[in-house]
Amino acid sequence: MSKETLQDYLSYLTRYLKRKARGFNGFILGLSGGLDSAVVALLAQKAIKDDLLCVIIDIDSTKRDMDDALELCRVHRLNYYHIDLTAEYNAIVKKLDQSKKLTDLSKINTKVRLRMLTLYALGQTLGKLVLGTDNKAELYTGYFTKHGDGAADLFVLSSLTKAEVFAAARLLGVTPNIINKVPSAGLYVGQTDEAEMGITYKHLDAFIRGEEVPANVRARALELHKISEHKRRPIPRPREKR
């Protein structure tokens, strides 16, 4: 942060979330076992306490991610559901493959969209708003799934770089297993954010802050931003009928 300290900004986010929860039965959040969702969960808990519901959705997820999510819930006494949708996901893919063989990427994005479908179904039933977990770096580069984790009622971390999310995690008491893990969406074995983006968070954060970075880093960041522009724009509409 430039003018206000990170701690001050986190205090503002807590107040912001408390205000946004008015008129609803709190928030619902997908807890993946990763850093961003953990930080959002603890901020929301500070704002609305037991009116936060975390949903741990297992779709062929790694045991480590599920264990880390459950540990965070136990340590911080977060309310949670644990749902295994692996069989349902496999059934959807099998059915769709009968018509047209799905690409590997479309299968991965189907996982993410199934998780969001689940959050909105439960959120509507319980009268809760869905919290998004994408940070400033992910939103800039489009490193999110359209109508998947890119769908939410509120983006809590939209002004924080990845480095600031790590710092926030330490301030909030996120469990060490999550803080020390290599950032990954956990959608397939060996996946890492930085390998998929082709740029490190350190370089990306520096670029977003307006600092000097190597030419290839700048070019890659701008490329990612350009090709993902459609994800950030409202759904196009034709002009009004005359």
The answer to whether residue 65 is catalytic is no
17 in Cβ contact with 49 (< 8 Å): no
Give the count of beta carbons closer than 10 Å to the beta carbon of residue 218.
Answer: 15
130 in Cβ contact with 119 (< 8 Å): yes
Here the tokens at position 79 are 């309310």
For the chain, the straight-line distance linking the first and the last C-alpha, in angstroms and rounded, comes to: 48
With tokens 């599920």, the residue in question is 66
Active-site residue, selected from the candidate residues 36, 58, 65, 193? 36
The answer to whether residue 138 is catalytic is yes
Give the count of beta carbons closer than 10 Å to the beta carbon of residue 152.
Answer: 22
Active-site residue, selected from the candidate residues 68, 138, 149, 193? 138
For residue 226, the one-letter residue type is K
Query: In angstroms, what CA-CA distances link 136 with 35, 60, 133, 145?
Result: 14, 27, 10, 15
The Cα 234–Cα 230 span in angstroms is 8
Name the burial class of residue 8, with classes exposed (0-12), middle (13-18) and buried (19+) by CB atoms within 10 angstroms of its CB. exposed
Q: With H, G, I as helix, E, B as strand and everything else as coil, classify residue 33.
A: coil
Query: In angstroms, what CA-CA distances link 12 with 18, 61, 157, 173, 178?
Result: 10, 33, 12, 18, 24
Catalytic residues: 36, 138
